[in-house]
Structure 1
Amino acid sequence: PFAEELFRNISRVLPPETLDYVVINHSEPDHSGALVDLLERNPKVTVYLSRSAKMFIDNIVNREYSFKTVEDGEELPLGGKTLRFLNTPFLHWPDTILTYLVEDKILFPCDFLGAHYCSPEFFNDEIREPEKVRKAFEFYYGMIMRPYKEHVLKACEKIKDLPVSMIAPSHGPILRKDPRSYIAWYEDRAS
């Protein structure tokens, strides 16, 4: 139901019909629901996804499409920028990957390191009520990630040496102030 809003937002940067690639960090409907609409607008776009996501996405789009299944650590050069894909299955969904923008040191962790928190401020260092954010992160971890704590620990291990200047989860604020503390917090809760 939000595909048109997504396309309006993309259009602020470039026409959706000109996208070359789209990354599906996992196939859960809140992350892949607009893919059918995107493929109708832009049938030439190449979908980057994990091998296990391919099966689910095939059933969601129910048509032929250009795709690339990514291996752990595989990179996609984008003309001066590079995306690196990290397979992290069962970070609450069986086909999850994290995406890392190498040059800018930005981690796009899908649902990992997220929170059910919405505010007009995009960044954690702009939020005026940090206690509410902390509670939102705790609740989100407890309800979404805690059942997968063994996989949380594997993901924390996988990204422990990754230089991270910012974390942009799919849910909650973008973490640009002390992003490593959120990884440490997750690791502590999962241990």
Structure 2
Amino acid sequence: MSFKINDKITWVGKIDWELRTFHGEEYSTHKGSSYNSYLIKDEKNVLIDTVWKPFSKEYINNLKKEIHLEDIDYIIVNHAEVDHSGALEELMKEIPDTPIYCTKNGIQSLKGHYHKDWNFIEVKTGDTLDIGANQLVFIEARMLHWPDSMMTYAKGDNILFSNDAFGQHYASYLMYNDLVDQDELYQESIKYYANILTPFSALVTKKIEEVLSFELPIHMICPSHGIIWRDNPTQIVERYIEWANDYSEQQITLIYETMWDATKKMAEAIAEGIKEILPHYNIKLYNVAKADKNDVLTEVFKSEAVLVGSSTINNGILSSVASILEMIKGLQFKNKKAAAFGSYGWSGQSKEIIANHLKEGKIEVINDGIKILWNPDENALEECKVYGKEFAKKLNKQKMVTRVTEEKIK
């Protein structure tokens, strides 16, 4: 499959309808994905990125329908990760001397993946390549989200080939942002940002500011995964600016794992108490042993506060809670408040263990949490409800203090 973006540029990628996990088993892809590769036919012919290795032969057979491979003058590798460069090894068997333009780190990464000394041309921000009606401008995007990442801007058609930035894991033959389901598009976009780009939010802001400072008109944004932004394409840039700025909504998320429903009952009672104080807030509960972890992390990203609960087992916490706490620590969420809770039978360390994990993730734990012995009775559930009320009051008070402080600074 291929389709024309305009009279010079053709999408020659692969839509992967069956993909359900990415980065091994780390990222869920309920809607599949696409590996976007672009062919520019100008006075010089340029291929931007390839596809994941399992689709190499299919990709090259389809590419041959669009162009004689020996007529490809340049290859651009915006990112060396194998979902982008996987077909490169097969392609270079046919056109081994074709120049490959990428960053210095890109060269190291490609050599590390494929152990080949191809005809690499190192580029850095501001370097250009004249190909005819278009001039290609290279923009390094280090750590968005790998050290080798870069973007390529086609000056002429005014198209930004943005690499992993502004993408989604989202399969659709409709291909353009104005044609797909808008709710699905938003959800997959924020999930992608929350789970992949959040640790680099400060760099996202700086890079967007840098790109905007070039004052380049952008008529279209073509990412490496998912749909192409052609209708008001900078709307996703505006979203990224918002998401990178310690983003939160009026939402509180409770995540837990439970052995015999005691911790589950606690979560529900705490949530009930929070809702009484903050009735306009969106309160969400997830048993992380049953829920999709990346969907849960997206909700944590959207939340002002997260409460984490677990039963105590073997002087520790249940495995799915330990796992998601490790992911939360790695994602380095900003501007979040938190607390811990849990049930126990005799040792009861889960609350403290959870609180320590949250603190290691630089999340502010705003009180000592709550733990309940055995299966909570009505009195214990009322205690949890009261705890939820107090948590909500403290959260609300801290918000008011922050708001007053910010107004004074202004």
Cα displacement (A) at 1:109: 0.6
**Match for residue 137 of structure 1?**
189
Is residue 2:207 matched to residue 1:155?
Answer: yes
Alpha-carbon offset, residue 17 of structure 1? 3.2
In 2, the alpha carbon distance for the partners of 1:123 and 1:63 equals 36
Q: 1:178 aligns with which of 210, 229, 232?
A: 232
Deviation at 1:92, TM superposition (A): 1.1
SS in 2 for 1:124: coil
Question: In the alignment, what sits opposite 1:12?
Answer: 65
> Which of 219, 242, 256 in structure 2 is aligned with 1:188?
242
Amino acid at match of 1:154: K
* 2:346 equivalent in structure 1: none
Rounded to whole Å, the distance in 1 between the matches of 2:109 and 2:173 is: 33
- 155-164 or 168-177: bigger deviation: 155-164
Shift of 1:51: 0.7
In structure 2, which of residues 218, 221, 226 is the aligned counterpart of residue 167 of structure 1? Answer: 221
- TM-score with structure 2 length normalisation? 0.45
Higher deviation after alignment, 73-82 or 96-105: 73-82
Kindly tell me the number of residue pairs found equivalent between the two proteins. Answer: 190
Shift of 1:102: 0.6
Helix, strand or coil at the partner of 1:151? helix
Deviation, structure 1 residue 148: 1.0
Q: Which moved more, 1:173-182 or 1:157-166?
A: 157-166
User: How many angstroms does 1:117 deviate by?
Assistant: 1.0
For the residues of structure 1 that align with 2:235 and 2:203, how far apart are their CA atoms?
A: 18
CA distance in 2, matches of 1:97, 1:25: 5
Larger RCO (CA under 8 A, 6+ residues apart): 1
Partner amino acid, structure 2, of 1:155? K
Give how far 1:119 is off: 0.9
Task: Give the match's secondary structure for 2:163.
Answer: coil
The alignment status of 1:107 with 2:163, answered yes or no, reads no
Pairing 1:64-143 to 2, within 5 Å after superposition = 64-127=117-180, 129-143=181-195
> Counterpart of 1:48 in 2: which secondary structure?
strand
In the other structure, the counterpart of 1:3 is: 56
1:18, 1:42 within 8 Å by CA — same for their partners in 2? no
- Which has more radius of gyration? 2
Residue type matched to 2:108 in 1? Answer: M
Deviating beyond 3 angstroms after TM superposition, the runs of 4 or more aligned structure 1 residues are none
SS in 2 for 1:17: helix
Pairwise CA distance, 1:18 = 2.6
Question: Structure 2: how far apart are the matches of 1:159 and 1:50?
Answer: 17
CA offset at residue 15 of structure 1?
1.9
Q: Name the SS for the 1:116 alignment partner.
A: coil
More strand by share: 2
The CA deviation string for residues 43-80 of structure 1, in whole angstroms up to 9 with x for no partner, is: 12110000111111112232331111002111111122
Structure 1: runs of 5 or more not aligned: none
Q: Distance in 2 between matches of 1:6 and 1:46?
A: 20
**Cα RMSD between the aligned structures?**
1.2
Give me the TM-score of the superposition, normalised by structure 1.
0.95
Q: What does 1:15-30 align with in structure 2 at a 5 Å threshold?
A: 15-30=68-83
Letter of the 1:114 counterpart: G
Provide the rounded CA distance (Å) in 2 between the counterparts of 1:148 and 1:91: 7
